[in-house]
Structure 1
Amino acid sequence: MQLMRIGERGSERPVVRADDGSLYDLGTVTGDIDGAFLAGDGIGRARAALAAGALPQIRDGVGRRIGAPIARPGKVVCIGLNYRDHAAETGAVLPAEPIVFMKAPNTVIGPDDTVLVPRGSEKTDWEVELGVVIGAEARYLDTPDDALNVIAGYAISNDVSERAFQLERGGQWDKGKSCETFNPLGPWLVPADEIDDPGKLGLRLWVNGELRQDGTTADLIFGIGHVVWYLSQFMVLEPGDLVNTGTPAGVAMGMPGQPYLRAGDTMALEIDGLGRQQQTLADA
């Protein structure tokens, strides 16, 4: 079972995607896939309604716009330099603790929506990441194992970045991370209990059909449970929050010639078991 939202931006409807690909309307269970839904065992209620045949099937869903699988994340928290091969390609020393930065929540868009190259950008870059969606309050968690119990599910996240804004214009990273449209998410949210091991997932990204990133979460410096536990020592994570857990090697910043993105380019992303997303870029 996967959770989706389909429809025009701002008017998405909650949907369950069954394992055979058929779509079912979740409107009788919830008004949206948001923090309140996740905190109230919405995933369990959706699963039970689907199993009972209580959800009307959507027969006109093919070709409809897919929205981000969660509505209005309260915050987007990101981890930088969290893959050994990515740190190596950028010449960075492995961090002793997770590198934390924030991304504006309104950067989150649908998985196939247009990504805008910011005005004045020269170094817009791609980053395929495993996105973690929080399903229960996480505050001063005791152990990384405890952290796995507050995760609602996983999704593909593209942490689009403008490197000059991020690294060459002074201040914090956020302004190179928070440009509009800079976080495509989805196509769906896979419940955490349907992913056998989030530490063994392959991640891939193509630019204009050429494979650029081909990594695995087994190369994470700080694992998923550790990241969520660590964050809970410094902030309260709430249901519906999104945590981007880092990207493997293969970003433009680390490549010879640094082939940054331009209007007209396309990005395609996959993570094992989490589907596929694709965006075309346009000038802002």
Structure 2
Amino acid sequence: MKPAPTSVPFAGPFALATLSAPDGAPFPALVTPDGRALDLSGALHWMPTDVRAVLERWDQALPLLHTLADDLSGDWRPLDGLRVHAPVEPRQIFQSGANYRQHVIDLEVAHRSPGDPRTVEEARAEIAAVMDRRAAEDLPYVFIGLPSAITGPYDDVVLPAWAEQPDWELELAAVIARPAHRVSVEDALEYVAGYTIANDLTDRAGVFRRDMKAIGTDWLRSKNAPGFTPLGPWIVPARSIVDPGDLRVTLKLNGDVMQDESTKDMLFGVARLVSYISQSSRLLPGDLVLTGSPAGNGIHWGRLLRDGDVMEGSVTGLGTQRTRCVRETS
């Protein structure tokens, strides 16, 4: 686990984080763009022990956080030297798949079987038609992830020995503020506390079951190894993000840009995803809604993750995470 960077640019006057001193316990924190941190377990009267406890009282907490951010006399400490953990420990993670038009087209071409009679152009045209139909029929695709896959935004990522094709998938993640069940698209964003960054790593070789194709995708095996979801560094309040449907999602691998796409390419925006999920499930404070990953994954480039690779992921207004890959040796 790495210490916080000295420069922490993000949109708005403050963000939420989970921090710790090198040998201390994690604490919920208010952080500012100029590199200050305030322990919220003592600054808020209900003494929250973690960020999720702040989110559970979000309507009450938000105006207090604004007041605290403006109070320079508070018990602030420099971020420099503190360790940054994943900003929240969710109870549930909802992951949107096939939500970026160009990404899905690229994957369809990359996963064609050797005997596929279609040309590349024919394969692209067919999947583009499927994307158009999905958008017209208003049918997002969402599956469930495990909280145990989450790791911090500067932690090393262990690539399991069994993972044959580990890949990156940088995503915008919405963080839920209030319990949400059967909410409308028009009201859905009122249930979002803020946004953060998630890198939803995937072992491409494990996505589809080889033993029985009718079973389909195996998200447990392909996406939920410990540390396969670097999260953070910050939760930026929703009101500081003007339009979640117009943010730049960028991932660099060893300094080279691999993903660089706007969330405008999403088939279904944050409001639609939250509403859709809430029709079947009850979203809880601190839950994550991952909105899918844009084009530019390793399977597209023919370059999967290896030992020593460094991924740097950023989303407009949300800061940057930086993780190093370490191949499991046994």
Distance 1:19 1:266, change over 3 A: closer
The answer (yes or no) to whether the contact 2:38–2:76 under 8 Å persists in 1 is yes
Partner of 2:81, secondary structure, is coil
Distance 1:9 1:231, change over 3 A: farther
Distance 1:9 1:43 in 2: 30
Alignment match, 1:62: 80
The code of the aligned residue for 1:273 comes to G
Alignment match, 1:202: 248
Does structure 1 residue 36 correspond to structure 2 residue 36?
no
How many residues are paired up?
A: 279
Distance 1:9 1:74 in 2: 26
Instruction: Please list every run of 5 or more consecutive structure 2 residues that lacks an aligned counterpart in the other structure.
Output: 1-13, 109-126
Over residues 100-157 of structure 1, what are the superposed CA-to-partner deviations in whole Å (9 max), with x where a residue is unaligned?
Answer: 111111111110101110121110000110011000011011x212110000100011
Shift of 1:9: 9.6
Select 2:263's aligned residue among 208, 214, 217: 217
Distance 1:9 1:113, change over 3 A: farther
The structure that is helix-richer by fraction is 2
Shift of 1:76: 0.9
Shift of 1:6: 1.3
TM-score scaled by structure 1?
Answer: 0.92
Alignment match, 1:51: 70
When structure 1 is superposed on structure 2, of 148-157 and 82-91 the one drifting more is: 82-91
Alignment match, 1:138: 180
Distance 1:238 1:191, change over 3 A: same
Does structure 1 residue 243 correspond to structure 2 residue 286?
no
The code of the aligned residue for 1:176 comes to S
Select 1:115's aligned residue among 157, 174, 198: 157
Does structure 1 residue 87 correspond to structure 2 residue 104?
yes
Partner of 1:90, secondary structure, is helix
The answer (yes or no) to whether the contact 2:29–2:51 under 8 Å persists in 1 is no
Shift of 1:283: 1.9
The code of the aligned residue for 2:106 comes to E
Q: Identity over aligned residues, as a percent? A: 35
The code of the aligned residue for 2:143 comes to F
Shift of 1:45: 2.4
Shift of 1:166: 1.8
The code of the aligned residue for 1:177 comes to K
The answer (yes or no) to whether the contact 1:34–1:73 under 8 Å persists in 2 is no
Shift of 1:53: 4.2
Select 1:5's aligned residue among 14, 18, 22: 18
Distance 2:62 2:25 in 1: 21
Over residues 167-199 of structure 1, what are the superposed CA-to-partner deviations in whole Å (9 max), with x where a residue is unaligned?
Answer: 244653232111110111111000011111111
Distance 1:131 1:75, change over 3 A: same
Indicate the RMSD between aligned Cα atoms, in angstroms: 1.8
Select 2:166's aligned residue among 124, 127, 130: 124
Alignment match, 1:103: 145
Alignment match, 2:204: 163
